[in-house]
Amino acid sequence: QVQLVESGGGLVQPGGSLRLSCAASGSIFSINVIGWYRQAAGKQRELVADITSGGTIKYADSVKGRFTISRDNAKNTVYLQMNSLKPEDTAVYYCNTVSHILGLRYDYWGQGTQVTVSS
């Protein structure tokens, strides 16, 4: 199992910045992909950005050029630097990991952290 603890959410004005952190523990050796999803009120959860164990990074089109995902392997932590925030970025942000073990996929989720972009 993988345990994920997120931090860094909050209230920020449009155009501002926030950095989210996700600390992983447990069976971290099994993680193939780690990333961030978000879910706005009344909408489906969507991928924001993720990074594979090989270093391949993927971003949602809506955040390209504004958000940056990075990881610190020594701290087992992944970060999401969010710049030029817009009201439409308001959502609960969830850290996610994907592990493939013996042909089975395992998804683990953090508890979520609220990001609110408002003046």
The DSSP secondary-structure symbol of 112 reads: -
Q: What is the pLDDT of residues 8-36, one digit of tens each?
A: 999 999 999 999 999 998 887 788 899 99
Give pLDDT, residue 92.
98
Sign (positive or negative) of CA dihedral 29, 30, 34, 39: negative
Q: What is the pLDDT of residues 51-84, one digit of tens each?
A: 999 999 999 999 999 999 999 988 999 999 999 9
Q: What is the pLDDT of residues 97-109, one digit of tens each?
A: 999 888 899 999 9
In the chain, pLDDT over 70 holds for what percent of residues? 100
* Cβ atoms 2, 30 nearer than 8 A: yes
